[in-house]
Each structure stands twice: as C-alpha cells, then as structure tokens.
Copies of this chain bind each other. A is one copy, B any other.
Amino acid sequence: MFAPVIEPPYYAVIFSSHRTPDDNNYGATAIRMEELASTMPGYLGVESARGEDGFGITVSYWKDEASIRNWKAQLEHRGAQERGKREWYTRYINRIAKVERAYSGPAGRM
C-alpha cells in the first residue's frame, strides 16, 4: 500500500531484490521487519511490490540519514539482513536517495 504523502525533503531507501524460490521463513520475517521498522525513530512509511517473476521493490521512507543508519544497525534487523544474503535473495541493490519533490494523483496534487 501507499506510504503517506508528506512534504519533502526526506529520505528513501530503494531496495530492489530477486527472491530465491523457497520461502525459508521469508514471509513471516518480512512482516515482522515492517512492524519493527515502524517503531523506529524517523520512520515515515514503506511501500512494497513483488511480481510473479520474483523481482521486487521495497521503498522505505525516513526522516534523515541518521534514521536509516540506526535502522540498518538494529540488532534483529541485522539478523534478517544476514539471512537475506544467505537464503532469500539471488541478488539485491540498495540505493539511498533524498526525496526532493513529490506529488500524487489522479485526484488532486499535494
């Protein structure tokens, strides 16, 4: 689902990934990580989509770079990152970006 449309500037972590075929507890962990992220300082929301080909994009939104570093270092999240590298992803790219402009539609713009 959509993350809230808030006034820039803020930060986006664009995580693109291709999943391995087996679940290996991925689904439950993804739900848990979303819950956990939402309790972190500076968290602004998350959007996620994955197609049947296994390619997916998750974008999480954060107040600033310090919030992103803090989330990356969170202990339970670090465990999930390690499992991701070993078991869940054939490949991933992570990009940290500063959102400068945003608008929504079709009914009106922010």
Taking beta carbons and an 8 Å cutoff, which residues of A are in contact with B?
Answer: 1-3, 5, 8, 12, 14, 16, 18, 47-52, 55-57, 59, 84-86, 89, 91-107
Contact = CB atoms under 8 A, between A and B. Distances in A.
B105 A89 contact: yes
A49 B59 contact: no
Most chain B beta-carbon neighbours within 10 Å: one of A16, A85, A102:
A16
Contacts of A94: 102-105
Contacts of A52: 52
Q: Count this chain's copies in the assembly.
A: 2
Contact of A51 (B16, B49, B93): B49
A48 to B, nearest CB: 8
13 contacts: A2-B16, A2-B91, A3-B93, A12-B97, A14-B99, A47-B57, A49-B49, A52-B52, A89-B106, A91-B104, A92-B106, A93-B104, A95-B102
A51 to B, nearest CB: 5
Contacts of A16: 2-3, 47, 59
A1 B24 CA distance: 23
